[in-house]
Structures are given as structure tokens and as C-alpha cells.
A and B are shown apart, each in its own frame.
Chain A
């Protein structure tokens, strides 16, 4: 009987098995981490060493690391401006999306709409999330031109807030729906207004979820490329667009590229680490709980 054998595995075999599993898990983690390491290693090399250092390119062992590329890149005004732009666009888009999205999510979780069902409104919000950006980028570009908003952070904030708003609505609706009704109902019976209930009872309870959602949408906005490329041309260049500038008519300059890639990737990656608990719910649009 197989089951008996399984249950009766000798302890050495079980140990071997768990060692193998651990090795596999470590291998998977290395595979995920490798490109980050490679970027760091490349960014610390002089242009000549870019191609001559073989294999893994371990700093100090295979070459003498230098901060020259970092200093070169971070000292120019264009890089600093891109960092400022990306930060402003991400923060303001997030604030707008939260201010508009949270009340809407609350309404969908607690009230009932009759002409169009709650479910359908939610699904409609969701459908905005899967809309391919390339579909709207051209008319959006022309709209912004008419509004004289090309190459402004405002235009990027408008666009990004639109992309992440459905996200907020869907995730927060789920969060509010999961909160126990009793508190809010007793407050209602006591005559509190809906607005004060949202502010004083539901929001504090949902705070961790709101924080996590904010981190995820900050990262999304930070990474957005297509609209940033189309809208920004001088003043409103964001980090991803600046990133694309590491490629010139002679090809990719590995050393600058690596610095710019790290500058671009670190903030969203770090943000995401703090939002781990909500990633599953967030990325499956609230369909699944993590």
C-alpha cells in the first residue's frame, strides 16, 4: 500500500527531500534576483570593463568597482528632474485616485443601485483596467494638445489617475464589504451621517488596505512608459522615459543604462515589498484574496 509507505518514510529520506526542496527554492530566488545583481555589477564598471569582465562579474574580485557612472548620471540636472517628475506624478495620481475611488468603493459596497446593478458598475470599472493603453494614447495625446497640456505633469497625472482609479474602486470595495456591518449600523441608528461614518469608522478600519493599495498604485504609476513617452518631451520627462535615453545612435551604453535601470527599478520594488500582503488581491483585481 502506497499510502503506508508515504507515511512511513524514513527520516533520512525525508531530510534529503527537504534539502532538495530548499535548494530548488533557493535556485528560484536566485533566478529572480540575478538581473538586479547584474545591473549593480555593470553599473560599477568602467566602460572598458563592460565587455572584458567575464562570467558573473563579481565586484572587488574580478574588477575594481567605481562610482564614476553613478556620479556622472546623478549629477546632471536632467536625471534629477526626471526623479522629481516621477515622484510628483506618482504621488498626485495616487492622491486623486484615492480621493475619488474610496467613496465610490464605499458606495458600491454598502448601498444598492437599482438602474444599473452594483455588480455591473464594478465590472465596468474593472474593464477600464484591461483596456490596452495604446488604444487611448493617440486621442489622449490630441486631447491634451487642444487643452495645451502636452509636456506637463498635469497631463500625466490625469492619465495615470485614470488608469489606477478602477483599481482603487475594485480593491477597496472588497475591503469595505469585508468589514463587519454592526459598527456602521449602530452609528446610523444613532443618527450619524454616512460621510462621518466613512470618515470615522470605515476608513480607520480599512487603513492597512488603503496603505497597501496606495503603494501598489504608486509603483504602477512610476513604471508607466507609453503615456509618459508620448506626453513628456522636455519638462515632464519621467524616469522611464529618461531611461530610454541611455540608448544612443551608437547602441546601448551598458554602464549608464545599468545606473538608470537601477534608479528606475529600486523605488517600485522597495514599495512593493511593504505591500506584500495585498499583492495577490491587488493584482487579481480583488477577485482573489491573498
Chain B
């Protein structure tokens, strides 16, 4: 026992000492000014002449001796958002001569740590891989600096904000100024098992039971529920065990509020010509800050979600993304609605059994939407389909307290360049989802199918996947996103109450009423007038 322990510790010591000795070259310059960067794993990425900016070149290390620290959601050296920072760290350090500190902070603590650093003027960090919902706090408190001038500056790596869809560009900016540097594009889409849903035998059985043709992809949530009900409990993947209709990931503290937001959007978000007291709203009344979260539309959506949850595994109430995705990847459920990571992970045959078998689409809608001005649900003649930018769209911003904003920007911009961005989007583990013109296939974009196939994508999957994302980000209506100070606190209370409803501790109505009450308390504590002003700015409300 004792000896074993000593051996293990000795082993640690030897490993720790032996590993850093591999010094390599990570940057190779061509004669024409082109450049090849090597990742930590030895993959090579090419840059056209000038693409990395004029600051850098053979023998130049403009930021020698500087050191910066970037915070990021903890995920380890190969995790989402965090992984790419590790992969390109050696190359960036060689390019600039600077040193990069990657500060991993657990998702639930990340916002806290960053806000404390800024509020108290400590200045531990130079930049943050932030979630867009922090913008109210970050810009409202004047804690980060705009990057418009940097984008125009030829000295730095090049990227183009116009390759972003409008829905995402608004998330990265505030009051007409860009603050964020292109990285992640978050939105949720519906993934389904195309192979099963297009199987003639199942289609026939479904029609017999539900009296209509099984739609692929489903256009409304009610259809999703019917299909999920139909398949739940049947062994449709022939593994000898009953399988599920859908799988969810509502674990508390793991962004459950986001999934609810995506699903409930069409129940609540009544499209109209402009933002007023009844149209294009999701969160608050734009004149009084009265929470809308317990409106009949929201309540109906949550009741629906509970109904839908019954067609999935029981344990999912305590599942975060990883577990739910894993379930879908192992071929145990027909549907999962989630982020872009899923599509990319499906390609990884070491974890996935469903490569080449999936379909993807923008999230379904519904025919009945709640209208505040009429105080009742109104019926539409076609389903209300609403795109979303659900999630963090995690990306880099520069702290106002940083002594080296140039160094920080050079790092963020390197990750925003087209070659790196494409590299990120085609790999599931990076957690960076596609959303930009050069990542979509023609006619929508300028990407090359060959590149994706070379990365090991199945052609069916990549076409389905990119189409779904394009439809989502370029949708006519996109549900508004909450970006006011305290957003994280509003989200947290909603998340906790949703989890209570999902685990049967509260009824949907009680959970949302409780949320509304807590939201009012938060608003009052943070100052209602100030919150209202920033909320109106954030959603673009004008009288």
C-alpha cells in the first residue's frame, strides 16, 4: 500500500520533469510571406501572405517578454472553447514572443471570477472568453474595450465581421460598436435519426397510429412529440433494449435555461414589424421591466417540455450535455435538440454509432402563439418558426484593465482568422460551431465540401448540419437574447426553477411564477430604472 503510493508519486515527478523537454518549431515562413503554423498535436495550418498581419514575420517577435492571461470555461487541454487555446498556444507564443496563461475556471464560477476582478479593479486577467449574456455587465460597467479600430489595423491577423450573420454580429456588439472577436457561433438545432424516420416500415406504422404522414423533418413541436411518443419504449435500433424518443440535458447549473429558451421561443415570440409591448419579446416588458417569464405562453411551453421529457430516459433530469449527447451518439434516441457540437461529435466513430444517419433542421415551431395585447393565444396559418442564438457564443473580449490590449487582440484575432475558424468548426471537440459564410456550402456560403470530407465528415451529415445552421442564423425572426447586467443571476434562478419543475418539485406554473417573483427582486436590487435603460438598449426598443 505505502510503497505503491510512493511509486505513484515518484512516477508523477518523473513525468512532470520529462515532458517539457520537447522544444519544437511551430512557425514556418515561406519565401512569399505565407506561413504555416503547427498545432500542439503537429497538425499544420496554412496562411496566405499577409493574412497574419504585418507585425509578424521571420525573426520578428514584437511582443517579446509580455505575458497575458485569458480566462476560459474549464474544459482541459482538449475541451470545448478551451482546447483551441491550448492547441495554438505554442505557435502564437513563437509568433509574438509573448507568453500566454490559460486560466480555466468552471463554467458556474467563471462569470463570478471575472466580474469580481473587474468590479474590484484587480486586473488579474487581460481578456476573457466570454459568453454573450455577460455583455450587459461588461459593457454596462465599461469594463471591456471596443475592437473596431483593431479590425481595420493591417498589423494584426485578418478577419471580417461581415462574414458573420446579423443575428450573431449583434451579440458581439453593443450600441453600434464591436467588442467581441469572432470565435464561436452558438445556436440550437434539432437533430434526428433520418435513417429511422425515412424507413418505410416505420412510416407505415406511424401513419396507422397517428393518421398522418411522418414528416421529415418535423415542422412543429407537436409533431416532434408524436414521433417521440411513437418511438419511445420500442427497440428501434435492434440492441435488445427499449430505446427513447428524445434525450434532454436539463441538469441544474448546466445551462438548462438555454434549452428552455430555444424550445419555448415559438410559443412566446410573436413576430411583428417592430419591438413593442406585445411583439418580438421574450424576457421583460420594455416599459416596466415586468418579467414575462410566467406568461401563459411560457407556461404552456414548460408544460409541453415536461410532456416531451416523458419520451426520454428517466435519468436525464440530472444530465448535462455530455451525458445526453453520448446517449444520442450511442444510437439510443431519435431526437436531441442542442448545439452544433452534436453534429461534429457524430462523426467521431470512437464515440458515435450514428455517423451518416442523421438529419438536422432549424427548431420546429407551433401554430399558436401567445399575444399579450389580446391576452390570449392567436392561431397562425403557418407554424411560427423562430431562430435562436441560444448559448454563450463564447468569444474573446479585451479587459479595460489589461496593460497589453494589443497582445490580447493578436491572440484573439489569430483564432478568428479564416483558416483557424474553419479548422475549429470542422472538429467536434473544439466546441466552436459553424455560423459564418465561409463555413457554409454553396449556394449559402463559400466553403468547399472537399475540406469537410477530408476531415472525415459524412457527406449526408455535413449537408444536413450546415443547412440547419444556416437556416437558423439567417432566419427571418430570431428570438431576442438577454444581455443586461445580472443576466447570469436571472438565468441562474430560471435554471434552478426549471430543474425543480423537471424533477417534479414544482408545477410548471409555480416554477415560472416563482422565477418572475425572484426576477423582480433582482431588478429592484440592481436598480429598476438602470436595468430598464440597458434592457431597451440591448433589444433595440424605441418608443
Are A and B close enough to touch in the complex, i.e. CB under 8 Å? yes
Instruction: Name B352's closest neighbour in chain A (CB-CB).
Output: A48
Confirm or deny: B447 has a beta carbon within 8 angstroms of a beta carbon on chain A: no
Complex Cα distance, B102 from A38, in Å, reads 30
CB distance from A266 to the nearest CB of B (A): 6
**How far, in Å, is B319 (CB) from chain A's closest CB?**
7
Segment with Cβ contacts to A, from B71-79, B207-215, B276-284:
B71-79
State how many angstroms separate the Cβ of B255 from the closest Cβ of chain A: 7
Interface contact B80-A249, CB-CB below 8 Å: yes
User: Which residues of chain B have C-beta atoms less than 8 A from A256's C-beta?
Assistant: 76
B323 near A71 with CB under 8 A, answer: no
Whether A250 contacts B16 in the complex (CB less than 8 A), given A234-B101, A245-B104, comes out as no
- A263 and B321 in contact, given A245-B76, A245-B104, A270-B5 (Cβ under 8 angstroms): no
- The residue that A253 contacts in the complex, of B19, B79, B431, with Cβ under 8 A, is B79
| B325 at interface by CB-CB < 8 Å | yes
Chain A residues within 8 Å of B76, by CB? 72-73, 245-246, 248, 253, 256
A47 close to chain B: CB less than 8 A: yes
Would B109 and A250 count as touching, CB distance under 8 A?
no
Q: Binary interface profile of B, 210-254, with partner A (CB < 8 Å = 1, else 0)? A: 000000000000000000000000000000000000000101001
Contact (Cβ within 8 A) A251 B351: no
Give the residues from 1 to 59 in chain B that come closer than 8 angstroms, CB to CB, to chain A.
Answer: 1-2, 5-6, 8-9, 12, 15-16, 19-20
A75–B19 CB distance below 8 A: yes
Residue contact B15 to A250, C-beta cutoff 8 Å: no
CB pair A74 B19 closer than 8 Å: yes
Measured CA separation A256–B74 after assembly (Å): 12
Contact between chains at B2 and A250 (CB < 8 Å) = no
A233 at interface by CB-CB < 8 Å: yes
Judged by a CB distance under 8 angstroms, whether A70 is at the interface is yes
Nearest chain B CB to A152 CB, angstrom units: 11
**Binary interface encoding of chain A residues 131-159 relative to chain B, with 1 for a CB under 8 A from any of its CBs, else 0:** 00000000000000100001100000000
Asked if B15 and A234 sit within 8 Å, CB to CB, the answer is no
A71 to B15, CA, bound (A): 7
What's the Cα separation between A155 and B74 when bound, in Å?
Answer: 24
CB pair A250 B12 closer than 8 Å: no
User: CB-nearest residue of chain B relative to A84?
Assistant: B16
- Give A233-251 interface residues, CB cut-off 8 Å to B: 233-234, 237, 242, 244-251
When the two chains form their complex, are residues A251 and B321 in contact, meaning their CB atoms are under 8 A apart? yes
A249 lies within 8 A of B351 (CB): no
Judge whether B350 is part of the interface by a CB distance below 8 angstroms: yes
When C-beta atoms are compared, the residue in chain A nearest to B2 turns out to be A273
Which of B118-126, B150-158, B375-383 touches A?
A: B118-126
Q: Note all chain A residues with C-beta closer than 8 A to B350.
A: 46-48
Which residues does chain A contribute within 8 Å of B5, judged by CB atoms?
266, 269-270, 273
Of A233, A246, A263, A266, which contacts B103 at CB under 8 A? A233
Q: Which of B106, B125, B431 has the most CB of A within 10 A?
A: B106
Q: Which of A72, A75, A150, A248 contacts B82 (CB 8 A)?
A: A248
A80 within 8 A of B: yes
- Shortest distance between the CB of A255 and any CB in chain B (Å): 9
Cβ of A78: which chain B residues have Cβ within 8 Å of it? 102, 104
Say yes or no: is B541 at the interface (Cβ < 8 Å to chain A). no
The answer to whether A74 and B15 touch across the interface, beta carbons within 8 angstroms, is yes
Interface string of A64-105 (1 = CB under 8 A from B): 000000111111111010010000000000000000000000
Given the known inter-chain contacts A75-B19, A263-B12, please indicate yes or no for A250 contacting B120, CB distance below 8 A.
no
Contact of B113 with A by CB under 8 A: yes
Asked, given contacts A76-B77, A266-B8, whether A249 binds B102 with beta carbons under 8 Å apart, the answer is no
Is A31 in the interface zone, CB < 8 Å from B? Answer: no
Contact (Cβ within 8 A) A248 B73: yes
Interface contact B74-A246, CB-CB below 8 Å: yes
Complex contacts, B19 vs chain A, CB 8 Å: 71, 74-75
Q: In the complex, A77→B255 CA distance in Å?
A: 29
Residues on the B chain within 8 Å of A126, using CB: none
| The residue from A48, A247, A269 contacting B74, defined by CB atoms under 8 A apart | A247
Closest chain B CB from A140 CB (angstroms) = 14
Distance to closest chain B CB from A67 (angstroms): 9
Q: For residue A48, which residues in chain B have a CB less than 8 angstroms away from its CB?
A: 350-351
Q: Which residue of B lies closest to A150 (CB)?
A: B122
Interchain CB contact under 8 A, B113 and A233: yes
Contacts of B249 in A (CB 8 A): 251
Minimal Cβ-Cβ distance residue in B for A255: B76
CB-defined contacts of B6 to chain A, threshold 8 Å: 270
Question: What residues on A are CB-neighbors of B8 within 8 Å?
Answer: 266
Q: Which residue of A lies closest to B345 (CB)?
A: A250
Instruction: Say yes or no: is B443 at the interface (Cβ < 8 Å to chain A).
Output: no
Q: Does A267 contact B (CB under 8 A)?
A: yes
Interface status of A229 (Cβ within 8 A of chain B): yes
Within 8 Å of chain A (Cβ to Cβ): is B105? Answer: yes
Nearest-Cβ distance from residue A155 to partner chain B, whole angstroms:
12
Contact A244 B74 (CB under 8 A): yes
Q: Which residues of A contact B82 (CB under 8 A)?
A: 248
Report the Cα distance A151→B101, complex, angstroms. 14
Closest chain A residue to B101, Cβ basis: A234
Asked if A250 and B431 make an inter-chain contact with CB atoms under 8 angstroms apart, the answer reads: yes
Q: Within 8 Å of chain B (Cβ to Cβ): is A19?
A: no
**B313-336 contact mask (Cβ, 8 Å, vs A): 1 or 0:** 000000111110110001000000
State how many angstroms separate the Cβ of B143 from the closest Cβ of chain A. Answer: 16
| A51–B323 alpha-carbon span in the complex (Å) | 10
Complex A-B, nearest 3 residue pairs according to Cβ-Cβ distance, in ascending order: A251-B320, A251-B322, A248-B75
- Residues in A lying within 8 Å of B, measured CB to CB: 46-48, 51, 70-78, 80, 83, 145, 150-151, 229, 233-234, 237, 242, 244-253, 256, 263, 266-267, 269-270, 273
25 sample A-B contacts, Cβ–Cβ < 8 Å, listed by A number: A48-B350, A70-B15, A72-B77, A75-B15, A77-B20, A83-B12, A150-B120, A150-B124, A151-B122, A229-B109, A234-B125, A242-B104, A244-B106, A246-B76, A249-B73, A249-B107, A249-B254, A250-B322, A251-B249, A253-B76, A256-B76, A270-B2, A273-B1, A273-B2, A273-B5
